[in-house]
Amino acid sequence: MKAYVLERYGKGQQLKRSDVTDPVAAAGEVLVEIHATAVNPLDGKIRDGAFKPILPYKPPVILGHDLAGIVVGVGTGVTRFKVGDAVYGRPRDRHIGTFAERIAVNAADLAPKPANATMAEAASLPLVALTAWQVLVEEAGLKPGQKVLIHAGSGGVGTIAIQLAKYLGATVATTASATNADLVRSLGADVVIDYRTQDFTTLLSGYDVVLNNLDPKTLERSLKVLKPGGKLISISGPPDPAFARAQGLNPLIRLILRLMSAGIRRRARRAGVDYAFLFMRADGDQLARIGALVEDGAIRPVVGRTFTFDALNEAIDYVDSGRAKGKVVVTVQ
């Protein structure tokens, strides 16, 4: 089959389109013919080598974290899916590889594709929707009437997080450019702050939750808008000791991550705020619940741009440029 392979780590490194051995579904796995995948900033960071301490992939390796496609084979013990089923999912860490024509995925990482979504729309959802769910539902426990600030509302995570927060009954503020203000309002944002001309720390106060996916300066400034007892949850770092323990990292890496996050954790304690770093995990059951929200119209996929499989490297470059809104999807079949 055809796949895009990272042959060595390197910033801006191009993935090589190659012929590789077809995968086989092992026990508990499902073999999926990929119809569409999506590009995430995470792919570029792994390519650059930024995640080697915590995600030690050994090149040559196939990248890619999102998929939508058709089941073409099932391993022993799989009862949730059968050949011909339309599915979507995010393969678990160390088992990624959706920049390819086929992939064997643990059945627990998949869910039925939302019936009202195209393959491209479904492929845009898994990583960002799981991130939004795990931040807002699991970590924050967001409740009706609470207030949440979602940074970068027009991005992949932001477009889904805004919709999910509104479904949960929260008041939603977001930062975005003036160009994307109408988009985020259409998704349900109650307060839109132009990050180029306005200072969110002077306009917002008394918030219960902040979802940060931006730089360390924005992370620290976000403490100012939270009320005591609020929660600052970052998906862009720095990783905290709880994450290091959950990943089972070696003592040296755990110490390094503890030191990296010491400053923000100390400032959060002084402000009476809880700080947490979240690195999303694969979860087919959560995707099934998200799929139901898509079918009910509570969440709609936001596909900003679509590329063909031949242009996958161009899609990665486009995401790296920082100009993308919503998700960047790559059609494979």
Strands (E), the chain: 2-6, 16-19, 29-39, 61-62, 67-74, 86-89, 102-106, 110-112, 147-150, 171-176, 191-194, 207-212, 226-234, 274-277, 303-308, 327-331
Residue 26 lies in a domain: yes
* pLDDT over threshold 90, residue 250: no
Average pLDDT over residues 62-76: 98
pLDDT for res 55? 84
Count of structural domains within the chain: 2
pLDDT tens-digit readout, 277-333: 999 999 999 999 999 999 999 999 999 999 999 999 999 999 999 889 999 999 998
- Please tell me whether residues 41 and 117 are part of one structural domain: yes
* pLDDT over threshold 90, residue 51: no
Strand partners, 328: 39, 305
pLDDT tens-digit readout, 145-201: 999 999 999 999 999 999 999 999 999 999 999 999 999 999 999 999 999 999 999
Residue 38 lies in a domain: yes
- Please tell me whether residues 145 and 221 are part of one structural domain: yes
- Please tell me whether residues 118 and 166 are part of one structural domain: no
Q: How far apart are CA 268 and CA 174, in angstroms?
A: 21
* pLDDT over threshold 90, residue 243: no
- Please tell me whether residues 121 and 131 are part of one structural domain: no
Average pLDDT over residues 3-31: 96
Looking at 277, 293, 315, the residue that finishes a domain is 277
- Please tell me whether residues 219 and 244 are part of one structural domain: yes
Residue 47 lies in a domain: yes
Residue 185: helix, strand or coil by DSSP?
Answer: helix
State the CATH number of the domain containing residue 310: 3.90.180.10
pLDDT for res 90? 98
Residue 287 lies in a domain: no
- Please tell me whether residues 257 and 155 are part of one structural domain: yes
- Please tell me whether residues 151 and 73 are part of one structural domain: no
- Please tell me whether residues 182 and 259 are part of one structural domain: yes
Tell me the residue range of the domain where 312 lies. 2-125+301-331
Residue 293 lies in a domain: no
- Please tell me whether residues 69 and 59 are part of one structural domain: yes
- Please tell me whether residues 35 and 154 are part of one structural domain: no
- Please tell me whether residues 100 and 116 are part of one structural domain: yes
pLDDT tens-digit readout, 86-113: 999 999 999 999 999 999 999 999 999 9
pLDDT for res 169? 98
pLDDT for res 322? 87
- Please tell me whether residues 75 and 143 are part of one structural domain: no
pLDDT for res 248? 85
Strands (E), 44-185: 61-62, 67-74, 86-89, 102-106, 110-112, 147-150, 171-176
pLDDT tens-digit readout, 256-275: 889 989 999 999 999 999 99
Residue 296 lies in a domain: no
Residue 283 lies in a domain: no
171 class by beta-carbon count within 10 Å (0-12 exposed, 13-18 middle, 19+ buried) = middle
Strand partners, 63: none
Residue type, 59: P
* pLDDT over threshold 90, residue 117: yes
Residue 226 lies in a domain: yes
Residue 323's contacts (CB-CB under 8 Å, 6 or more residues apart) are none
Q: What single DSSP character describes residue 135?
A: I
